Structure 1
Amino acid sequence: MSKRKRRNGTASKPNRQVRADQLESLANDFLIHYRAKQLDTAVPLAREITERYPRASFGWKALGTALMESGDAQGAVAQLEHALELQPDNNETLTNLGKALQQLGRYEEAEARLNQALEQDADNYQANMHLAGIHQQRGRHDRALEHYERSLESLPDAVLAKMRKASLMVERRDYDQALAILEPLAEQHPKAVGVLTNLANLYGTMGRFDEAEARYRRAIDLQPDAWLAFSNYYFTAHYNPRHEPDTLFAIGRQWQQRYAPTVRPERPATDRSAARPLRIGLVSAGLKTHPVGQMILGALEHLPKGQFHLYAYSDSLVDDATARRLKPLMEQWHEVPHTSHPDLARMIRDDAIDILIDMTGHTSGSRLPVIAEEPAPLIVKWVGGLFNTTGVEAVDYLLSDVVETPQGSDDHYLEKLIRLPDDYICYTPPRHLTDDPGPLPALENGSITLGCFNNPAKINEVLLEQWATLMHQLPGSRLLLKGGQYTNADYCDRLYWVMEEHGINRERILLEGPAPHKELVATYRRVDIALDPWPYSGGLTTCEALYMGVPVVTLPGPSFAGRHSATHLVNAGLPELVAGDWEEYRQRVIELASDLESLGRIRQHLRQVLLQSPVCDGPRFAHHLTIALRGIWQRHCEGKAPQTLTFDKEGKAWFKGEQKPVQLPESDFPEDGFQWRFEGKIIAMDNGSRLLNSEVVGQMLQRGTMELIAFDPASRALQAPLKKQEGVHYYPNATLGDGAPGTLYACQDPEQSGTLMPLQDEYLPEGVKNGNRLLTRLPISTVSLNKIEGLPSLDWLVLDAMNDSVCILEHGGDRLCNTLLLQVRVVFQPTHDRQPNLAEVSHWATRHGFRFYRLNDPQHCSLLPCDVSPEERQATELYSADALFLPSHERLQELTPAQCTKLAFLLHTAFGIRDMAYRLLLNEDQQLAEQYLISQGLVSMLDNQLPAESPAVSPKEEETIADELDRLLNNDF
């Protein structure tokens, strides 16, 4: 027995050695192919090792690593995890697993594995580099810098680590450090395309345009397929004041010639039904608090439900307030920083996107190689790196307007232009911007402060010369500039030198570094007039200046990039601030600076002017965007090639060469099988014109489901955009009442003006005291509800708290007997004489077939002093609220099915009330009520329950009700 054992043991040694030799030979073969980047042969060799030697961790590590490097990160993870099971402490396997997880976007798991690797070996170059990259993507700059430094400690001459560290320094706006890294690196590696491109980017940021362009061209010559270097070159050229429109167009169109596929890819075919819901893909690195996010949010939030399914392909991992508002609007949200261009193109095709919208262009996070693969039937360019033509023939349309792309500019675009009737964007101010504009700084300073908070790369010697001339014409004026580059001493000295060459002392120039966004915007409280740069104008910066009450003067530049401010100003109703030449530019500024009283009034009202203009009108923009997207889709379904689409100011759109405007087909767009169904329109009457500022009401008007009669006793809504909307009958300086001539009490705060006498009481809430001061009494016309003839119905009555609601109700009982909803503002801390309280209104309602339902939109006042910050000002005392009254239980039983649906629609749409909406629908149709629950995600789809086909709301033509009101107002008084 013992001999047998010895014999077997003796024989096994050579066998193990043979197997070890064979494994070593296979491993060497693998390494030869792997190091030569011959992954198509390296992968089969690694797989052979795992099959022949399944207990050898090397084979699994080799297979996982080769799969990862060949682009199959998903397949790599399982192999690397198995290698770790066999050898848990293998540092290289941990690192590669972290890299594979990072490629898949599984960042938390990737961090964990990379940190494990660094626990074993703190000098692991690869682990430090990849962990730094994750931290940098997530905005953790300090932690990213720590790992880049460790990488360079282990490999001091690593070019990639130095480049990445320099890019981080640029993000941190530490330009001196970035230059100190990149300039020596470019001298040491004069043929390194990445180094040249990064240095060119930095030179462009610092305003050294000629040096930047020279290095871009050098990089492109060295590596003809360096499309990203070319995109950066094209973008930076728009900052350079010496380039004419023809030059810029000539550069742009080279992208197609150089980098697009030689043979145009075949586009996927999706269902060519013109009337179905469309899948819209959004490719962007800016779906966050970023110019892109802030310029699209208002539009996307108001797109008609059911018509579009939005798919986001986000190159950002930031999850901020704007991203959190965008995500619920999406059918799917893909985070794709880790996704290769071919994989992203496949993903878009697999999602069967109908219209793909690029919102990055040639800027950071560019996905133009994906766009050039033409992964959707139609491709559109919108915000985000939209500074000129993309130069990519795959892009069919470019969303613009008549200011950005005036008639006659079409030849400078490869795309067909969609000229929207207003601005090409819709600005949504972030909710954290709560500071008011404050008083005009010049009144305290005794001199004008000019300001420009645009990217300092937009400031050049041509512009500075014009600003210097302007400052000579405004003695004592100062120029406040704020931005990241002003932390660089050389940059500041160069700017001071240019201004001093033109006779402006540096003491008059205030240069400040970057600040958090809220603080940056608050700095406009120190600025009287904003100066727009040239030839690349401001966009978001202009909107923010107007929001803070600061007028902006602009001279349009030679390209789309130079006309952003012009379109925002024109569409905000400020075309006089758009100059035709430099002399007019300076004259506009001097005119504003010469009348401080007028400039102060502008400051106090400019925010409201902006917010009530088309620049911020989400429902209006969404309506026009819907027409544009459905119009180009309908044209595609008809087999017609893309063509220029132009809107008129009434919102009608014509394709070039067509005799008739776009007529969208009648169609159903159900929400998960549910569709509101009723005939006619909801007739609403609003005394106080509060509804004219409601986004929901704007949507209802656009969809033709409402007709609104708005009385505006104090004429507060003269600038409200909805008053011109079709279906609105607007009557300023008139009010509901008893039909007799009345008195309007005009107060210092227009919001406190009405037909009720303001109280002068020391116990009034702090926010009301000053505004409640009576300025004058004015005569006003009143209309009795009972006397209005020709009013087909009145479904919704809204009454404010500044006018005599009890008088209105007492003279409207006959007209209100079939009304579905009363909304009456009641106060709990009176500010006006005879202001109705809840008991009085409830008493009237009970006598006339209504019941109290709930309080809505409660407002509280704070008892803390005004100098307590808004975030800390607790407000506990109930000041006012809307009392909602529904038909009594007896009347509800008598409502027709159509009335039940109308009331349900009103409660759902205007107030988000779903339980009562369901109960009302249940009175009409159980299946419809169940479909409603499913559409709201309140219950799951039942087995075998198919959504019923429901026609969309189709309001029938109603007789106009304006004539009778005009007669009452014009003839009776």
Structure 2
Amino acid sequence: MQVDTDWLVEFFRKQARLGFEEGDFTRVRNCCRGVLQRVPTDVEAWTLLGEAALASHDSATAIHAFERLLELQPETAEHALRLGKAALQLQDWPAAIAALEQTLELQPDNAEALQALALVQQLQARLQTLEQLPAAAPRRNDPCPCGSGLKYKKCCLAKSSQQLMLQRLQQAFADGEWSTVVSLADELPQLTAIAQRSLALARYQLSQRGPAYPLIKQAISEFPDDLELRAAQADLELDYSLGGAKALAESVLEAQPDNWRAALVLAACHARAGDPGLSELVLRELISHNPNCDMAWQRLSHFLRKFGRVADDLELGRQWTERCPQNAEAWTQWGMSLVMADHAEQARPVLQQALTLDANQHEAWCWLGMSFQNRKEPQQALGYLAHGLQLKPDYQGGWNMLGGVYQSVGRQHEAEGCFMRALAIAPDQAYAWNNLANTYLDALLLEEAERVMHVAIDLAPDEPNLWNNLGNILSAARRLKDAQEAYRQVLEVAPDYRPVLANLAGVESHFGNLDRAIELLRIIIDSPQAWTNILFFANYHPDWSGEQVFALYQEVAKRLPARRYFDYANALTSNRRLRIGYVSPDFRHHVCAQFIEPLLANHNKSLVEVYAYSLVKREDQVTERFMGYVDHWRHCVGLSYDAIAEKVREDRIDILVDLAGHTGNNGLPILALKPAPVQVSWWMGFAFGTGLKQVDYFLADEQMLPPGCESSFAERLWRMQAPAVAYQAPEHMQVEVTALPALSNGYVTFGTLTRPIRLNHRVIRVWAELLRRVPNAKLMLDSILLRDESLQQHYRALFEAQGIEPERLLIGCTSPATAALSAMDIGLDCFPHNSGTTLYESLWMGVPVVSLRDRPSMGRVGALILHGAGHDEWIADTEEQYIEKLVALASDLPKLAAIRAGLREGMLASPLCDAADFAKRMEASFQQMWQDYCAQGEQQ
């Protein structure tokens, strides 16, 4: 997929409208130009551009826009009127009169044009006296009185206006109004040599390097001894010829040794030629002789950060402020460096000093905001960033920062708006497009995210982060081969780009290559990005023991924060109401919420006072329900783990319960600090322990935790009365159980809704043997990831290698899941990692499931569920037993039909669906844990 031009035009058009409504004329101009670059005849874009230019006194742009509109719509009086107003702003009286008269030709009773023309005619009379205006001017469309045969507007009127614009251009250049210079020059068909020089340097000053380069070279041909032009060309030559840039810079310095721009170029040449030491020397010499050259200090700071010399960069900031103590820019830049180095507390007084020197230093306000954001204090950050952007609404970096803050607290709509503002200010900034794409990715608007990422990549095709993000979007869209290609492109442009390895590992895992996935993640094991994934893959590995998995957990646990708290103010009385805190990112529409809700909804509030520490980024209706179940809701998104732990301390939580384990956005770093005297991980979130000694208990039941498995856990094992969960079918599962499909199909359909990562070589070998023993049967593999055709082909090939014909496999994704389950006769659980939610759903839809008990605890989830539902006869302890139980079920269709008809009713009557009893058993476990703590203290 390449850049979608139609989508991009509509994006800019919408942003132009919004900008105009909000009075953000910079945004309007940039976005209209984005439209017109692709659709040169777009009337709406020309109109908005002209109106915005008129409102912001950019007369040259306004004149050009309304001239173009009159060409497109010559009978529209409003365009002529606006043209007249723009000419009045420019004080181009003949052009104003001609435009106003054209308005009245088209609309004789236009009161605004009549009034304006009367005022100009009064002025005309005075100017005629001073011989500044011809006594009688022709109309715009009249033949020009000079006899050229052209219309007046195309001949002498244009020449008069052009001469005035040239004068304005030179004045704007002298005043350093670079954008005005460019706007005026764009409207002039011919430029004098002086004007050409002014335009070249103006574009250069605006960092428009591509357009500036040929203009600078042309200007030098007219002014070969102009050192300012030569220094600018030396800088621009860095994009084309390193040798040429160096020669030009040296020639400038030979003629003018204190030319700071040439010195900066020479420093850049040395750096790019592989001599950073000489580059640094040039910059330090420049600073020594010219301490007021802000650009030199900034370049040296950037140079030091690029080479990871953080301490040297911070020392440079200190030196700059010592040499130039009254320079607010120096203090701002030092503060920025401190924030980027994660020294937020040290940065704040530095940035405050910048604001003492100059309260309008917008960058200082914004980076002060980022100092709070880096310490997970988003509300403080928002205030400072908003103030900085009030001072300078077109500060693109500030809008990116503000969007990032909103994104961190799950306010995606506001984040989207901020990133769009950043793009409207500077549409050629690839990372602003990347940020916008991330907001769409977070909201799972994947087509939109992909379109945006292609715009970013088109702007910066050699940026590895952009390709990486495109891969993430394609992966989320279940286009794994396309994602894999994007990730490989990352390594093409940047072979040492480590973050992509976690994503490549994810793709490998979907194809069952767990050894390769774990190998990739071990390379980046020090990165938190790798921790969740490597543990996730280890648990699915078909050949690892529980002890091997646990060893990896211990390796990751060492990288979590060390314990901070050892003393607690909780009253050590065992018969009081306990304060229970639950930590989770899943208080929302999520599979785990189905199992959290029955517990929270059935708590006895006379026994427990319930606190929820929510890490939910995007709250929804399910979140609102959860808020109603608990006594105290703590919204913790955007806060640091330290701050959340302090909240737990302030709330005097007795037992803190982790509901996520090592899943994404989990709260285990909070538990690692040990803010509560008793800490528990309930199996439901991840079905395996945490690896943390700071977690006192791993809570499950005897089905998941058989005797002798203690060596696989860091926590003490708490085996509550089974089952250690309660299931309440969600609304989407409330459909009728259908008749047994085999009765009409004439064959049995085995099936699973599992994710592909569970389909390892052991499972495929056993299922292939099952299909051989039930010759007419078919196997349905149905899950969202199996929409991907490359995955379908992969698993067909694996079964074909076992002698199973492709026509016996039904591979894909059926929606809703109830439709897939209605097409199955018998469910298959995987091993060594059992299914979870899909197993409950299978039973609910009347589909019996056989599960193989494997390594604790993830390999025994199926046993927990089946035992809780009262069907121990479907639990196997060997692969042969597993096959035999399935063959027996498939061999008696009348019995299978009876099982299907009664399975839901039996399930509802079982302990597995008794939420009230489960909540009581959980509360009894909590009470006993607390009694043990009161009597004996910590047990580990």
CA change 1:341–1:157 in 2 (3 A) is farther
Match of 1:136 among 441, 464, 471: 441
Q: Which amino acid aligns with 1:302?
A: N
1:577 aligns to 2:874 (yes or no): yes
CA change 1:279–1:57 in 2 (3 A) is same
Query: Paired residue for 1:180?
Result: 485
Q: Which amino acid aligns with 2:550?
A: F
The DSSP-based 3-state class of the residue aligned with 1:380 is strand
Report how far residue 349 of structure 1 moved: 2.5
Name the structure where strand makes up a greater proportion of residues: 1
Report how far residue 447 of structure 1 moved: 0.5
Give, in whole Å, the separation in 1 of the partners of 2:363 and 2:621. Answer: 46
Q: Is the 8 A contact 2:843 2:907 kept in 1?
A: yes
Query: Paired residue for 1:307?
Result: 607
CA change 1:571–1:53 in 2 (3 A) is same
Q: Which amino acid aligns with 2:520?
A: R
Summarize the alignment of residues 362-761 of structure 1 with structure 2, pairs less than 5 Å apart.
362-513=662-813, 515-516=814-815, 519-642=816-939
The DSSP-based 3-state class of the residue aligned with 2:454 is helix
Match of 2:547 among 242, 246, 249: 246
Give, in whole Å, the separation in 1 of the partners of 2:772 and 2:920. Answer: 47
The DSSP-based 3-state class of the residue aligned with 1:432 is helix
Q: Is the 8 A contact 2:464 2:493 kept in 1?
A: no
Give, in whole Å, the separation in 2 of the partners of 1:96 and 1:120. Answer: 14
Give, in whole Å, the separation in 2 of the partners of 1:566 and 1:130. Answer: 45
Query: Paired residue for 1:713?
Result: none
Q: Is the 8 A contact 1:345 1:373 kept in 2?
A: yes
Post-superposition Cα deviations, 1:888-929, rounded to whole Å, max 9, x if no partner, equal: xxxxxxxxxxxxxxxxxxxxxxxxxxxxxxxxxxxxxxxxxx
Query: Paired residue for 2:358?
Result: 53
Give, in whole Å, the separation in 1 of the partners of 2:352 and 2:597. Answer: 49
Give, in whole Å, the separation in 1 of the partners of 2:498 and 2:882. Answer: 41
Report how far residue 71 of structure 1 moved: 4.5
Give, in whole Å, the separation in 2 of the partners of 1:227 and 1:84. Answer: 33
Give, in whole Å, the separation in 2 of the partners of 1:490 and 1:434. Answer: 33
Q: Is the 8 A contact 1:186 1:196 kept in 2?
A: no
Query: Paired residue for 2:649?
Result: 349
Report how far residue 468 of structure 1 moved: 0.9
CA change 1:482–1:155 in 2 (3 A) is same
Post-superposition Cα deviations, 1:544-597, rounded to whole Å, max 9, x if no partner, equal: 000000000111121211111111111111111011211111111111111111
Q: Which amino acid aligns with 2:659?
A: M
Query: Paired residue for 1:82?
Result: 387
Give, in whole Å, the separation in 2 of the partners of 1:392 and 1:614. Answer: 31
Q: Is the 8 A contact 1:426 1:614 kept in 2?
A: yes
Give, in whole Å, the separation in 2 of the partners of 1:292 and 1:463. Answer: 25
Q: Is the 8 A contact 1:267 1:374 kept in 2?
A: no
The DSSP-based 3-state class of the residue aligned with 2:726 is coil
CA change 1:91–1:606 in 2 (3 A) is same
1:195 aligns to 2:500 (yes or no): yes
1:280 aligns to 2:577 (yes or no): no
Query: Paired residue for 2:570?
Result: 270
Post-superposition Cα deviations, 1:853-896, rounded to whole Å, max 9, x if no partner, equal: xxxxxxxxxxxxxxxxxxxxxxxxxxxxxxxxxxxxxxxxxxxx
Post-superposition Cα deviations, 1:502-551, rounded to whole Å, max 9, x if no partner, equal: 221011011013x55xx112211110001111111111111100000000
Report how far residue 627 of structure 1 moved: 0.4
Query: Paired residue for 2:535?
Result: 234
The DSSP-based 3-state class of the residue aligned with 1:304 is coil
Gaps of 5+ in 2: 1-291, 295-323
CA change 1:209–1:466 in 2 (3 A) is same
CA change 1:146–1:352 in 2 (3 A) is farther
Q: Is the 8 A contact 2:846 2:904 kept in 1?
A: yes
The DSSP-based 3-state class of the residue aligned with 1:638 is helix
Q: Is the 8 A contact 2:339 2:370 kept in 1?
A: no
Q: Is the 8 A contact 2:703 2:864 kept in 1?
A: yes
Give, in whole Å, the separation in 2 of the partners of 1:302 and 1:71. Answer: 34
The DSSP-based 3-state class of the residue aligned with 1:362 is coil
Query: Paired residue for 2:145?
Result: none
Q: Is the 8 A contact 2:600 2:629 kept in 1?
A: yes
Give, in whole Å, the separation in 1 of the partners of 2:384 and 2:923. Answer: 48
Query: Paired residue for 1:932?
Result: none
Post-superposition Cα deviations, 1:651-692, rounded to whole Å, max 9, x if no partner, equal: xxxxxxxxxxxxxxxxxxxxxxxxxxxxxxxxxxxxxxxxxx
CA change 1:414–1:69 in 2 (3 A) is closer
Give, in whole Å, the separation in 2 of the partners of 1:98 and 1:337. Answer: 15
Q: Which amino acid aligns with 2:579?
A: R
Report how far residue 631 of structure 1 moved: 1.4
Q: How many positions carry a matched residue from both structures?
A: 620
Post-superposition Cα deviations, 1:776-817, rounded to whole Å, max 9, x if no partner, equal: xxxxxxxxxxxxxxxxxxxxxxxxxxxxxxxxxxxxxxxxxx
Summarize the alignment of residues 834-873 of structure 1 with structure 2, pairs less than 5 Å apart.
none
Report how far residue 21 of structure 1 moved: 7.8
TM-score (norm 2): 0.62
Q: Which amino acid aligns with 2:625?
A: R
Report how far residue 190 of structure 1 moved: 4.7
CA change 1:144–1:638 in 2 (3 A) is farther
The DSSP-based 3-state class of the residue aligned with 1:197 is helix
Report how far residue 172 of structure 1 moved: 2.4
Post-superposition Cα deviations, 1:449-498, rounded to whole Å, max 9, x if no partner, equal: 11011111101122111111111111111001012332333332232222
Q: Is the 8 A contact 1:310 1:331 kept in 2?
A: yes
Q: Which amino acid aligns with 1:212?
A: A
Q: Is the 8 A contact 1:397 1:642 kept in 2?
A: no
The RMSD of aligned alpha carbons is 2.7
Q: Is the 8 A contact 1:287 1:293 kept in 2?
A: yes
Higher relative contact order (CA 8 A, sep 6+): 1
Give, in whole Å, the separation in 2 of the partners of 1:331 and 1:150. Answer: 47
Report how far residue 423 of structure 1 moved: 1.2
Report how far residue 264 of structure 1 moved: 5.8
The DSSP-based 3-state class of the residue aligned with 1:419 is strand
Gaps of 5+ in 1: 1-15, 644-973
Match of 2:398 among 78, 93, 100: 93
Q: Is the 8 A contact 2:750 2:778 kept in 1?
A: yes
The DSSP-based 3-state class of the residue aligned with 2:750 is strand
Report how far residue 218 of structure 1 moved: 1.9
Question: Bigger CA drift: 586-595 or 92-101?
Answer: 92-101
Report how far residue 125 of structure 1 moved: 4.0
Q: Is the 8 A contact 2:595 2:684 kept in 1?
A: no
Post-superposition Cα deviations, 1:326-355, rounded to whole Å, max 9, x if no partner, equal: 221022334444333333323322333221
Name the structure where helix makes up a greater proportion of residues: 2
TM-score (norm 1): 0.60
Give, in whole Å, the separation in 2 of the partners of 1:141 and 1:338. Answer: 24
Q: Is the 8 A contact 2:706 2:856 kept in 1?
A: no
The DSSP-based 3-state class of the residue aligned with 2:582 is strand
Query: Paired residue for 1:810?
Result: none
